[in-house]
Structure 1
């Protein structure tokens, strides 16, 4: 595969970099499933790595198909801005050796960018070690799909049922839930009333500083049954 031809078209990575409360929230929910040897698919500019990797993992492999973004990741790792366990590979899952196994495989805001998502998850399942976890976090609800989604290369948004429907062969569901109930209401309002495309920095700050803390309190009361982000975790036997 010639990875030099792969250039990420999205512009949201820098925009959402400052959403620190949101990252703290979802990472706290996912951390119990992250251990051992970790493969992060579509590592981007290291936003997920920086918030989720603790340095106590055996190894954290950042897999990124865009050579320019992979170079940024390597520079960050060499400068000590990422945990010492981090290793960077340029490519996609098809470039990973068939015999390579991981205890955790992560798709954090990545699966929606992959056209054949079912085949992708089946490939990921083949790389899971016994007892390992395949973790997907993705934007929720097709009725919230906007020109912004299209502009940054999203093929779709998911709901709990559609994501569960992609269950890879040989794995079982360990968890499935929504996050950010308050943010969902804001997104729905934007979709119906404002109809704006790319969110502004001010909108991101308002959401992160005011709405995410409310969601963090409200979501458990709602049993994480509603939200603008959906999470599914599968486990290998």
Structure 2
């Protein structure tokens, strides 16, 4: 991902650490992609713009599901070949011609706003720049007590709770709002690892063998059920929120 500030944009080292080739097969990404796809469908039809799309992992996944989406990212990284015609990298959203973006009604900010010091101001700036947008779908890392070396490596300013997400997306409290923690079952494991080791890995291990791929698919299903069945307010390691104009 990247934001409007160059010092918060990922460099190649960070991209390769958390988005190595094949990372789309990791259970975390499989699960998050599904959760995001459900949220996009819930706001109704219409083209989607992902801001901070990185190499285009989500763009590729959602397009494969039949969703009309393009992405833009500040970092000058190479997009995935499968979506190179639908992703623009090395460009700031606010440098684009807004007349080219009037068709978009939904913005995705997926693990983006935690990288921005003034997240509420950033969202407000997007609203002013693209007044036709009606929906924001956002994911963020959750629970400040889990803040650690991984967040520092990725230049996070914070981890979120539900109240802080709403304060940054809908400070007036006058929009339709839905939010939930997810990866509930990861929370106790992450908490315990930090208490015992004081740090966590900063790289993703990509499943390569058939066996490891199957394990990751099974885990992804487990965490989708975790999100679907457990109470939204139960602590998890991530949050997904949808904010829509009334």
Q: TM-score, normalised by structure 2?
A: 0.76
> Does residue 220 of structure 1 match 2:223?
no
Q: TM-score, normalised by structure 1?
A: 0.79
> Does residue 182 of structure 1 match 2:188?
no
Look up the match of 1:82.
Answer: 83
What is the rounded CA distance, in whole Å, between the counterparts of 1:201 and 1:27 in structure 2?
16
Mark the runs of 5 or more structure 1 residues left unpaired by the alignment. Answer: none
Q: Among residues 115, 119, 122, which one is paired with 1:120 in the alignment?
A: 122
2:176 and 2:243 in contact (8 A); partners too: yes
Q: Among residues 29, 41, 48, which one is paired with 1:23 in the alignment?
A: 29
What is the rounded CA distance, in whole Å, between the counterparts of 2:66 and 2:222 in structure 1?
31
Which is richer in strand? 1
Please identify, of 136-145 and 46-55, the stretch whose mean Cα deviation from structure 2 is larger: 46-55
**CA 1:215–1:225: 2 relative to 1, 3 Å:** farther
Give the alignment's Cα RMSD to 1 decimal. 3.3
**CA 1:150–1:6: 2 relative to 1, 3 Å:** closer
Residues 180-233 of structure 1 show CA distances to partners (whole Å, capped at 9, x for unaligned) of 111111111111112233245559879946654433323333223221100111
Please identify, of 217-226 and 108-117, the stretch whose mean Cα deviation from structure 2 is larger: 217-226
What is the rounded CA distance, in whole Å, between the counterparts of 1:232 and 1:118 in structure 2?
14
Per chain length, whose mean CA-contact separation is higher, i.e. which structure has more relative contact order (CA < 8 Å, sep 6+)?
2
Look up the match of 1:229.
Answer: 238
1:26 to partner: Cα distance: 2.5
**CA 1:5–1:124: 2 relative to 1, 3 Å:** closer
